[in-house]
Chains A and B, each alone.
Chain A
Amino acid sequence: MSAPAHHWVFRSKSERIALRLPVRALVALALLALVLLLICCVSLATGTYGVALNEVIDTLRGLSISRAIDNVVWEFRFPRTLAAALVGAMMALSGAALQNTTRNGLADPSLVGVSQGAALAVVTLTVVFPDVSGALRPWAAFAGAILVALAIQGLSHTRQGGSAIRFILMGIGLSTFISSITSALMTYGDIDRAMAALSWLAGSINAAGWSDVWTLGIWCAVLLPALLAISRSSSATRMGEASAISLGVRVKLIRNLQLAIAVALAAIATSVVGPLGFVGLIAPHAARRIAPAGIGLNLLITAMVGAVLVSLADLVGRAAFAPIQIPAGLLTALIGVPLFIVLMVRSRSSASH
């Protein structure tokens, strides 16, 4: 192992695995992980049920103080904290993959309609078929999301190839269209069922339980490695189709795989907590700004940024105005929309120069 000034190089025996990693990005990743851990700790120690910090620590060490405190820490706060972090990471990764596939820095699952497609599918399931079990939710969400993604891809693709701005415009149009179908369904459907769908649509992590954490965790464990596995090829596609093909990348396959993973990540996250806006947009940009790195490490930083963002939004949403609970989705949109405008303005000014 040799260590030049700004890179950390790792070579395994006979160089089957060789990595050259920028130190700054590694430090950033470690710091973000620390921040996430800190937020999770604060989140575990914060809530409307008064539990002293040392009691929380004792409970986490496995010492049972009382049944009530066990419930609060293990059943209410812990799954919610984990779900927030996982959902954040998944939305961020989805945004990153979407931005890579479309080669468009403004792509975000909630902006181009992927989340809305998932939401419409889930609302339809809730309102029209209330007897169908909740276990079908992720699959319905995925079906809705993939349909929208395919529709946008198809509609924005012209004979001259897909244009970036066309993709975004199609996406925004389609997402508005789908949102209005969702509200129509909520208005004219049975009010009871619409009410049930409503709090979910606001992007609330409030109800997340251990089963949700398992769903999110398992899918994350499948999709993140898959995304990392194709990251080298997908980084080549960022240089343009012709260059990627000349480098021996199967562009079409990689692009479709990446799109499928992006859609799956957004759909699973959406099916559990509802559409969380703008995390997928912000996180990849923030990651790039925090520390430039190769695509693999960049994805990890992106995921971490997303996890930090949503964990923070959930913590602030439930603690800042307690006992009023503000859904995390509202807070991410509150941060996200101004940031989106800044990005739009910047990209326009850099394009005109």
Chain B
Amino acid sequence: MSFRSSLLTAFLALAIVTPVMAQEFPVTIEHKFGTTVIETKPERVASLDYGGIGNLLKLGVSPVIVREWRDKFPSTTPPWGQSLLTTEPVVFTGDIDPELVASTNPDVIIALASGIDEDLYAKLSLIAPVVAIPSGLGDYELAWDQRALIAARALGAEAEAQRQIDAIHARFAEVRETHPEWAGKTAVVGRIVEGEFSAFNKLDIRAKFLNEFGFVTPTALDDITETAFFNLVSPELIEPIDADVLVWYGGSAALQESLDYPARPFLQAGARGGEIFLTDEHLAAIARQELLSIPVAVDFLVPLLEAAADGDPATTVEGDLQ
């Protein structure tokens, strides 16, 4: 009897305590290579991800090692995140060198968009617990909110991450409500790659981002493929990229090439003033799908979209490269 009652008490205690102490360590994370247990709240965090620093910084963690990202910001940190950076992380390029990771003496290794395989996972696990992607997903397929949430769990900041994710979703909803006219309008994000227009279809994060505001990709674009997230579109074929809004994703380096694109005069977006030429910083904010940069991207993109999607060539799109 006394045993049963004490068990009941223990159960009740657990039931009461659990929600409050949700982030008590050890934390167990299941992933495609097995199970990782993080015993104590990590101090030194290694990030092997492409563009991985923004989630950590926004959760108050400054990493010890990061991977070079295409926007080449110092310490891979965008200007709007520099004030959050309190460490001088090692920045590595190319292949992951386990020895280099070991030299930074991390307590936990975040690898949620890193492309590590089973062998590398095994090697890295000798250094510190490795947080990998859930099973059933491709190497870079983890959605931005899940990616932030899993990283946050490992860092003991799950509740804070969830709060920020909810805030971002609320912001999306707010934009949708204030701009009902955007629902169902078509938008294409793309750039010129070796003379052909490379357009991101509905599977891509950039297209999904615009979809949060109500824009959709042209069905002619989505119909081209069902697996790849981008399509190379011949200049002779404009239907897949002929949309209400056309977001040129090349940045300053590709501006001239974008302006000279042979099919450009035939696209309706140009005639209606529906083109947006992203600056390098804006492009970086969109490319980094992370807690730090999504709010920044929403803030600058909404006014640009307002000017571009009104169908009036007279309203100029402020803040773009042109």
For window 218-252 of A, CB contacts with B under 8 Å fall at: none
How far is A309 from B191 in the complex, measured between Cα atoms in Å? Answer: 42
A325 in contact with B139 (CB, 8 Å): no
Does any Cβ of B come within 8 Å of A68's Cβ? Answer: yes
Bound CA–CA A323/B104 (angstroms) = 12
Indicate if the CB atoms of B99 and A192 lie closer than 8 Å: no
Distance of A325 Cα from B94 Cα, bound (Å): 7
Q: How many A-B residue pairs have CB under 8 A?
A: 87
Given A71-B126, A209-B123: A323 and B97 interface contact (C-beta under 8 Å): yes
Q: Is B33 an interface residue (CB 8 A)?
A: no
Query: Does B119 contact A207, Cβ atoms closer than 8 Å?
Result: yes
Interface size on A, residues (CB 8 A): 34
Check if A325 sits within 8 Å of B123, measured CB to CB: no
CB distance from A330 to the nearest CB of B (A): 11
Query: Which of A42-50, A145-153, A156-164, A170-178 participates in binding chain B?
Result: A42-50
Q: Does A347 contact B (CB under 8 A)?
A: no
Chain A residues in 8 Å Cβ range of B139: 192-193, 195-196
**SS class, residues of chain B in contact with chain A:** loop
A76–B102 touching, CB < 8 Å? yes
Chain A positions 268-309 with a Cβ under 8 Å from a chain B Cβ = none
Pick the residue among A76, A196, A322, A326 that contacts B117 (CB under 8 A).
A196
Known: A68-B127, A191-B229, A195-B139. A318 touches B115 (CB 8 A): no
A348 to chain B, nearest CB (A): 36
CB pair A47–B99 under 8 Å, yes or no, is: yes
Report whether A49 and B138 are in contact in the complex, using a CB–CB cutoff of 8 Å.
Answer: no
A134 to B120, CA, bound (A): 13
Q: Is the CB of A323 within 8 A of B93?
A: yes
Check if A75 is an interface residue, CB within 8 A of chain B. yes
Q: A48-B100, A130-B138 are in contact. List 5 more A-B contacts (CB 8 A).
A: A48-B99, A75-B98, A189-B227, A195-B140, A325-B95
- Which A residues have a C-beta under 8 Å from some C-beta of B? 47-50, 68, 71-72, 75-77, 130, 134, 188-193, 195-196, 199, 204, 206-207, 209, 211-212, 318, 322-327
The 4 A-B residue pairs whose C-beta atoms are closest, nearest first, are: A192-B138, A48-B100, A192-B139, A49-B103
